[in-house]
Amino acid sequence: MNREQKIIEFFDPNQKDKLEYDLTKLIYTVLNPQKKNIGILSSLEVLTEDMSGYMAQIMRMQGKQVEESWIVTKLLKEFYTVKKIEKDTESITGVDTLVVIHPKGFEEKTLFAIDQFVMKGGNLLVFVDPHAVVDREGAGAYGGVSSSPDEGFKKLMDKWGVELKTGQFAGDKYLSATGQYNPNLPPTRLLALMNCNIKCTSQFEDTITSGINNSLFAYPGVLKVKDVEGVKHTPLFSTSEKGNSYTAQGYELNNPQALWGKFSEGSEPVIMAYKAIGKFKTAYPDGVKLEDKEKKKKNEKTEVIKESKKESAVIVFSDVDFLTDQFAFKNSFLGPSVANDNSTLFLNSVEALSGDTDLLSVRSKGRINRSFDVINQIEFEAEKRTADKVKEIQASISRFQTELNQLGKQANEGNIAILQNEGIRKKKELAKKIATLKKELRAVKREGREKIEEIGKVFQYVNTLLVPLIVIGFGLYYSRKRNHLMQGRRRAVNNSGNNGKNSKLVEAKA
């Protein structure tokens, strides 16, 4: 009998929270050697030919760009047979679940193939994005926007009853992550980055998002659904109740202050992922014309399944970037490692659609990211006041540059010395003003830190004083109650003894 062995060569201390999952994964792969087939269709280079590390290093040394598969696809290969579906395919076969990433620019025959895959009962996992940061080529050289789906794929989504609102983004002040657009500027809270915690998933109670409490999204979109006969829609992922949608375009997307200016706090969650289950109808009831010479000769029409005979499932997420190496992984001395729950969310979705739910509950276990709303509010207000001071400093520098330019235009042989002295004087005034503003800036930051430290001291006092007092009080109460019970038992024993003696005296007298 052949025995398959799996070995964990090294335990990474930084990944100790995933130990149970790693062990369960090994057991699962040994017990289930037959892998299911997952197809990946994308307008991006998500899945490329595998290349050895040595060859990749040689190409980089030669100044050549090395296209590597996204790490999430490499994780997918641990459990499934992953198949790349070409962008010009006419049919999709031999696949249990199809993953479509950033759908745009697909030919009509490819869209028809996706449509018929669902009509045959296939399950679909789709990632669309109103602004895919990863697609730099599609965005163009002048800060354009690469969005999906295009009009062709929207035709399919309309039949599923799911719509991505064009030019709209999901935002949440209290879930905004810290980052920086410019390496020369200090990190600040960015509305475009959303660090989702348990608030984004707890209200839905779905196995896909169970235990997902630390995921990072970039420019997530807004999903809406409409009623479709025979189709049930279930939300999977959202902002908190204080989230809202906002519109932005062009240069505004790279301007943090412009985005904050367009955002206002909401009163209900904004949905970023939906699951649609039911019997769908085709978006191509008349079929499509295939560029097939054989069929042209025979004058055959494409066969069309107009309605799925059994239920299918379609899951749609409104962000592509959270799958990328930049947002889902981090580098360590052992190589790339998981940075958050992004890859877990992806793998959970695939497993839910493929029927392999054994690992869902184990994979999702890990650190729980619970936010402190009061501290977040203090930090946000401090950063807002800091941003105002930074803006004032930059405005002062800009005015100084303008004044220097004006002095330069007025310069001639007769007044060059006077203007130089004037420039030096203005420069000293500017330096003095900037020094004052920076002092105020430090005061604002210190004030925010002091408020947070005061809250920390309160919890510290609670832990060091109140909790021990509670424990001592409980101990005294328990000791007193125990003594009371013991005294009661002694009285009962004494009473029973006295009653025995009295009964013997009565018998003796009798």
Residues 264 and 384 in one domain: no
What CA–CA distance (Å, rounded) separates 209 from 220?
17
What CA–CA distance (Å, rounded) separates 17 from 388?
41
Assess if residue 335 is contained within a domain: yes
From 321, 350, 371, give the residue that closes a domain.
Answer: 371
Closest Cα to residue 112, out of 306, 242, 268? 306
pLDDT number for residue 365 = 46
Q: Is the Cβ–Cβ distance between 47 and 87 less than 8 Å?
A: no
Residues 243 and 385 in one domain: no
Q: Which residues, listed in sequence order, are joined to residue 162 by a DSSP beta bridge? A: 225
pLDDT tens figures, 406-455? 666 665 656 666 666 776 777 777 777 777 766 776 676 666 667 667 76
- pLDDT over 80 (residue 30): no
Assess if residue 256 is contained within a domain: yes
Residues 85 and 203 in one domain: yes
Q: Is the Cβ–Cβ distance between 24 and 359 less than 8 Å?
A: yes
Residues 418 and 281 in one domain: no
Element (H, E) at 235: strand 231-238
b/e code 86-110 from CB counts within 10 Å (16+ = b): eeebeebeebbbbbbbbbbebeebb
Assess if residue 222 is contained within a domain: yes
CA distances from 128 to 42, 192, 451 (A): 11, 16, 41
Assess if residue 233 is contained within a domain: yes
Q: Is the Cβ–Cβ distance between 125 and 79 less than 8 Å?
A: no
pLDDT classification of 329: cutoffs 50, 70, 90: very high
From 346, 371, 396, give the residue that closes a domain.
Answer: 371
Residues 132 and 240 in one domain: yes
Assess if residue 495 is contained within a domain: no
Q: What are residue 457's phi and psi, to 5 degrees?
A: -65, -40
Specify the 3-state DSSP secondary structure of 267.
coil
Assess if residue 509 is contained within a domain: no
**Region of poorest pLDDT, from 106-110, 394-398, 406-410, 437-441:** 406-410
Residues 410 and 267 in one domain: no
Residues 337 and 382 in one domain: no
* Burial label, 407 (beta-carbon count in 10 A; 0-12, 13-18, 19+): middle
pLDDT number for residue 89 = 93
Assess if residue 434 is contained within a domain: yes
Rank 11-25, 273-287, 359-373 by mean pLDDT and report only the highest: 273-287
**Region of poorest pLDDT, from 255-269, 357-371, 470-484:** 357-371
User: What is this structure's pTM?
Assistant: 0.70
Residues 149 and 200 in one domain: yes
Assess if residue 493 is contained within a domain: no
How many Å from the N-terminal Cα to the C-terminal Cα in the chain?
90
Q: Which two tokens stand for residue 24?
A: 């369960």
Q: Which residues, listed in sequence order, are joined to residue 38 by a DSSP beta bridge? A: 82, 97
What CA–CA distance (Å, rounded) separates 423 from 439?
24
The mean pLDDT value for 381-395 works out to 64
Sheet holding 271-278, edge to edge: 80-84, 36-42, 97-101, 123-127, 312-317, 271-278, 231-238
Instruction: Please report, for the chain, how many H helices and E strands are present, in that order.
Output: 14, 15
Q: Which two tokens stand for residue 332?
A: 């360590």
pLDDT number for residue 363 = 45
Residues 364 and 386 in one domain: no
* CB neighbourhood size of 115 (10 A): 22
Element (H, E) at 60: helix 53-61
CA distances from 459 to 41, 465, 468 (A): 51, 10, 13
Element (H, E) at 97: strand 97-101
pLDDT number for residue 362 = 47
pLDDT classification of 486: cutoffs 50, 70, 90: confident
Residues 363 and 381 in one domain: no
Residues of the domain holding 254: 13-371
pLDDT number for residue 123 = 93
Residues 259 and 389 in one domain: no
Residues 413 and 272 in one domain: no
**Mean per-residue pLDDT of the chain:** 79
- As for how many domains the chain has, the answer is 2
- pLDDT over 60 (residue 252): yes
CA distances from 309 to 110, 230, 244, 465 (A): 21, 12, 38, 66
From 371, 397, 416, give the residue that closes a domain.
Answer: 371
- The residue to which tokens 């269709």 are assigned: 41
